[in-house]
Amino acid sequence: MPLRLLIIIVLAVTWWPAAARGWYPRLERETILDPANPAPVVGSIRPYLPAPGETLIELARRSGTGYRAITRANPGIDPWLPPAGREITLPYSFILPAFAGEGITINLAELRLYYVWHENGQTRVRAYPVGIGREGWDTPLGNFTVVSRVKNPSWSAPASIREKSPGTPAMIPPGPNNPLGGFWLGLSIPGYGIHGTTKPLGVGRRVSHGCIRLYPEDIKDLFRRVSLDTPVWIIYQPVKVGLRENRLYIEVHSSETIREDDLLKEAMRQISALNWQDPLDLAALHKAIWEQRGVPTPISLP
């Protein structure tokens, strides 16, 4: 058996979660942030060989990465028919957004929620893939707080939804048919919140009516960590630049509203803000902006 194939199989056995969950980094030690690093690269990308007939849609759910994250990280691969024996990249690594302070930060550009907290004198981070508002039901940008915490919530359908879908019940009680899932974190903007879902394949997509959806396992984990008055920042940041072991990285997410030239300008602005003085790999920089794979990519020369 080839050595690389053996390594991938061993990784899959040793770190694959016993139950599906989306939050990462997978290794506990990787959740600790270095206070001296203003823009840390967190976590590790993992290789994976899909089983025969396994689609990227299924793998997104099983690996907990979210649909768009896994398809963007693997360009050119048919999400319904991945080539047999083709290695898949699982995007378990990220650059922490510049605005991510203690509390919750949701970056709509990458469909990811970050939770930063302090524990035993250390600052830690955990990331969760999310589903957000679809076109016409955009998730709002801004600074908010958590104003309610409800386990087993009921769902009251807004009038706007009942008008577009007349058969929608006015209220759905807690249970398997409740679109909020098992947990609700209400935000200070009325009608919006962070919650679970009965349709986990929608995580990592623009599918909601504006709220933020998490995998059922993830909202359960986040809910127990978050208290009332926790700050929530909802941002749109398709370009992030970060540092790891004296190397410079960039992470670019696809944007429907920002041109590549402007993405490059934003990347250079962030590089300047980090006071980076060493040479850049300009070919790698331009390639990352053009491909927009959503994974940290080195752009400094070794």
- What does the pLDDT look like over 236-283, one tens digit per residue? 999 999 999 999 999 999 988 899 999 999 999 999 999 999 999 999
Catalytic residue among 118, 195, 209, 253: 195
Q: What is the pLDDT of residues 222-247, one digit of tens each?
A: 999 999 999 999 999 999 999 999 99
Position 153 confidence tier, pLDDT thresholds 50, 70, 90: confident
Q: What is the pLDDT of residues 18-62, one digit of tens each?
A: 345 678 998 889 999 999 999 999 999 999 999 888 999 999 999
pLDDT mean across residues, the chain: 88
Catalytic residue among 209, 211, 253, 286: 211
Residue 200 and residue 129 in contact, taking contact as beta carbons nearer than 8 Å: no
Q: What is residue 254's predicted lDDT score, i.e. its pLDDT?
A: 92
| 209 catalytically annotated | no
Question: What is the model's pTM?
Answer: 0.89
**Residue 147 amino acid letter:** V
Q: What is residue 73's predicted lDDT score, i.e. its pLDDT?
A: 97
Domain 129-235 has CATH 2.40.440.10: yes
Q: What is residue 170's predicted lDDT score, i.e. its pLDDT?
A: 55
The pLDDT of residue 127 is above 90: yes
Q: What is the pLDDT of residues 95-114, one digit of tens each?
A: 999 889 999 999 999 999 99
Q: What is residue 84's predicted lDDT score, i.e. its pLDDT?
A: 84
Residues 6+ apart with CB under 8 A from 44: 25, 26, 27, 30, 92, 93
Domain ranges of the chain: 129-235, 239-298
Q: What is residue 21's predicted lDDT score, i.e. its pLDDT?
A: 61
The pLDDT of residue 13 is above 50: no
Position 11 confidence tier, pLDDT thresholds 50, 70, 90: very low
Q: Is 258 helix (H, G, I), strand (E, B) or coil?
A: coil
Overall average pLDDT of the 195-214 stretch: 89
Radius of gyration of the CA atoms of the chain, in A: 20
| 211 catalytically annotated | yes
Half-sphere exposure of residue 245: CA atoms within 13 angstroms, side-chain side: 4
